[in-house]
Chains A and B, each alone.
Chain A
């Protein structure tokens, strides 16, 4: 039975459970809902949930575990010879899956009967040709052991599927029965339904956290792998970035780090004053009408995809800077791509980020502070400068740090605006490159994941992750401390 049908069946069972559970509770109370502990729909929901949760839990677990078990079994059938390392075992396994899928399709289309598919032998049949006829192209002739493995794979899959169907239905029916039989007017259905909802909320929250952990783990293992191949001191303190896939690369992070730092710095120098002043204007001076129009407009800026900003950098800002600082003008600039180009455009991108957050923070400063200052004969700007901004400062610093971590992680604007040359240079009109763009370029194309040139991307990513995480933590701590002041 396909998984979709199984899913629908369990769902239908749950809905029947809802109706029956509700009816049973009502019957137990002789139709008087005042005698019930909970509202009737809670009894229904209770049976519904008791059916769905075990059913789906078994379904999900089975779908995760079965491939792992089968993989383990089938992998044992592939002979040791010809397997040089982990990668070629994977390759062989994907061959097995392909042949198995091919056989499935052939059976489905009637090119082979089910018995033929089971008993077919490479010695007697041209498998590649037969499968090619039904549209499954294989790279090479099928080895006998691959075919055997594929056939085992098919049978195990089919059995597993039947077992799964049985197990899922059994779990769902068991849950249904237990919940239904317990349903009576005194059952605390409301409480148990709410407990399930609580679990749902909890699991939603933990998914976000677990994902972060997963990301960190995936980075850590590859980073360790990288440092086995390339000395950490050379990575962290090397001043040259010259990867060559032929070997003998120099993979020093410093030029990239400098590029990231320089671009982010320029971006922040642009974004922080403009964003902050915009926020002060919007929250302190603008009338409600101006605010109603200006604030959403500013926030539209935040919704523009960064690649569009990148195009803006490449097509507009770069040539504009060239005409002033290039060969025709001051002669500081060699090409349209430079740290300045990317920094300016990234700064524009960050303006709404800074202004929107700061605006919220400034608005959170109590009106009583402003009244107190105005009541002492301070002007509006004195009030903003000496009372409102100092009171909002920790929050504003938090906003700026969040903006900084966005700047550090930004890729597209840098790719299009700053160029690809890894340089340690003070001139902001030189092309430079950043950590993120190098990660992209190290992993695009045919990357061999056992070479330091590809693995370095993970070390770069890990470094970047640690830095932005640190910035975010500092920002959150500051913002939290600020909140305590007024609550």
Chain B
């Protein structure tokens, strides 16, 4: 399988960005995440893989407290961002989400112009001093989102009018515009065609220079292509976590091996 090729990517000895210890998540009576420990490194792409319903998206949403918006959801354990507990009472989840950006499964541009979509975050957080400043931020974000050339002539056009792949890159650019430290991506390519997927994957690889990226994916090829670290979730447990190369070539746990070779999932 050509797609399964493992490109040897250098994993620098990076600092830990997010450190989770003993995380438990409950949806009402359902125990969705069971005692997960994981260390997410800075300037690294970390992939969460696992069968549907294994809790990888739920865990991802814990990292920027998006689960707070769900009434019945309860999170226990410690999640430290740069050594600070993000579930501490003194932490404002809104501030946290500015630092830990998120890209969703389906592209969700606001029904506003392309410019306003990107400028949304910077405007809310007061990142621009004036209009020229804002223009610059928007251009930079669109360039980082690898979509600048396609939309530079129609920044006033509605973001909803773009194609699916363009919309998703717009959403990535939108998330990048607020200068987050960590970027969470929840199956960002599942609604895209292969070409758009490829563009987004290339983009993710570039984003690694500036951000710590966490990506949830169903596609093991994708995990192998874009990530340096991989975590395998199964039935709410973190089964195995390690270098992507090691997970895909020499998994320690037999469940991981079964999943990767397609026997469970």
How many of chain A's residues have a CB under 8 angstroms from any CB in B? Answer: 21
Whether the pair B106, A391 counts as a contact (CB closer than 8 A) is: no
Whether the pair B69, A377 counts as a contact (CB closer than 8 A) is: no
Cα–Cα, bound, A376→B120 (Å): 8
B174 beta carbon closer than 8 Å to chain A: yes
Given contacts A371-B108, A485-B111, are A287 and B71 in contact (CB under 8 A)? yes
Cα–Cα, bound, A376→B103 (Å): 9
Interface of A is mostly: helix
B124 beta carbon closer than 8 Å to chain A: yes
Cα–Cα, bound, A369→B106 (Å): 10
Interface of B is mostly: helix
Whether the pair B97, A376 counts as a contact (CB closer than 8 A) is: yes
Within 8 A of B (CB), among A346-395: 366, 368-379, 382, 386-387, 390-391
Cα–Cα, bound, A390→B112 (Å): 9
Whether the pair A378, B110 counts as a contact (CB closer than 8 A) is: no
Q: Which residues of A contact B95 (CB under 8 A)?
A: 377
Q: Which residues of A contact B4 (CB under 8 A)?
A: none
Whether the pair B104, A368 counts as a contact (CB closer than 8 A) is: yes
Given contacts A386-B120, A391-B111, are A379 and B94 in contact (CB under 8 A)? yes
Within 8 A of A (CB), among B89-143: 94-99, 101-104, 106, 108-112, 120-121, 124-125
Q: Which residues of A contact B120 (CB under 8 A)?
A: 373, 376, 378, 386-387
Question: Closest A-chain residue to B69, C-beta based?
Answer: A374
Whether the pair B121, A377 counts as a contact (CB closer than 8 A) is: yes
Whether the pair B175, A485 counts as a contact (CB closer than 8 A) is: no
Question: Closest A-chain residue to B71, C-beta based?
Answer: A287
Question: Closest A-chain residue to B120, C-beta based?
Answer: A376
Q: A377 contacts which of B94, B106, B171 (Cβ < 8 Å)?
A: B94
Q: Which residues of A contact B98 (CB under 8 A)?
A: 376-377
Q: Which residues of A contact B69 (CB under 8 A)?
A: 370-371, 374
Whether the pair A376, B66 counts as a contact (CB closer than 8 A) is: no
Question: Closest B-chain residue to A392, C-beta based?
Answer: B111
B64 beta carbon closer than 8 Å to chain A: yes
Of A288, A377, A382, most buried by chain B (CB within 10 Å of CB) is: A377
Report the minimum CB–CB distance from B77 to chain A (whole Å): 22
Q: B64 contacts which of A288, A372, A375 (Cβ < 8 Å)?
A: A375
Q: Which residues of B contact A382 (CB under 8 A)?
A: 124
Given contacts A374-B66, A386-B120, A387-B120, 10 further A-B contacts (CB under 8 A): A366-B108, A371-B102, A372-B171, A375-B66, A376-B101, A376-B178, A377-B96, A377-B97, A377-B121, A378-B124
| A–B complex contacts, Cβ < 8 Å, 9 sampled | A368-B104, A372-B104, A372-B108, A373-B120, A375-B64, A375-B102, A375-B175, A376-B124, A377-B99
